[in-house]
Chain A
């Protein structure tokens, strides 16, 4: 396992950033993907096989957002969003839905963390799980079919934790 994964920061309890990520991620996953996400203690053994998406943002804050989703969870999320059975999904569809989930989650988090901000988000891209941690902000979630991890790194601006 890459060293970054072992030395990764832990889920940030229920205060500040952690509480906002927990609330926003649960709301996003319930509203459009019909999944229940429960914040959980970090466990990262699954990360090397995860579908990981990277989104850069810039404007009043600059930084990067990372979403990692376990493969079975990705299929279940994608199937829910598209209104299909997981068996009917193509690999491309599953990846595209996770890219859009990252876009929605990142945008919703930015709007909630920094409601006065003016930000623009880059197009989400698939990334390697080795880069799953960029900053000190990180949360893990359990869904019925597996796990989801969210990380945010802020490189400048006044929003850093």
Chain B
């Protein structure tokens, strides 16, 4: 089943890495939206529905934590699965993001294969 994706990271090359994993993992990506911070992501998601949101935490303007808070407040976007991709491996941060609704958390550095596995877990069997 094709999926549409929103990738939020302030590094263009990291967004490229994630996009490459999505493609090589065999997901049929119908649409891949990208944003370099939370604010841009919310703008990009206006009038767009996506199957999963992959977001970094540390970003200028609006960070990933605030983005998750905003998504939780939005009736339409609340149900979209989110996967956090961050360098922050501290327990407090992981628990915080999960409490804000994140369904997956993977810390940088990750191998392409580890991201594929986490994506498959978050998306569930229907997209695998």
Residue ranges of A at the interface with B (Cβ–Cβ < 8 Å): 27-28, 31-32, 78, 81-83, 93, 96-97, 99-100, 103-104, 106-108, 110-112, 114-121, 123
Q: How far is the CB of B44 from chain A (nearest CB, A)?
A: 20
Range of interface residues on chain B?
20 to 34
User: Which of B12, B87, B107 has the largest count of A CB atoms less than 10 A from its CB?
Assistant: B87
Within 8 Å of chain A (Cβ to Cβ): is B73? Answer: no
Decide if B11 touches A99 in the complex (CB within 8 Å): yes
Can you name 20 extra interface pairs (CB under 8 A) apart from A100-B11, A107-B89, A110-B87? A27-B109, A28-B109, A32-B108, A32-B109, A32-B110, A32-B111, A81-B17, A82-B13, A82-B16, A100-B13, A100-B14, A107-B58, A108-B87, A111-B87, A111-B89, A111-B107, A115-B90, A115-B91, A117-B90, A118-B93
Residue A107 contacts which of B11, B13, B63, B87 (CB distance < 8 angstroms)?
B87
A interface SS class: helix
Q: How far is the CB of A117 from chain B (nearest CB, A)?
A: 6
Within 8 Å of chain A (Cβ to Cβ): is B34? Answer: no
Q: How far is the CB of B109 from chain A (nearest CB, A)?
A: 4
Task: Name the A residues within 8 Å of B1 (CB-CB).
Answer: none
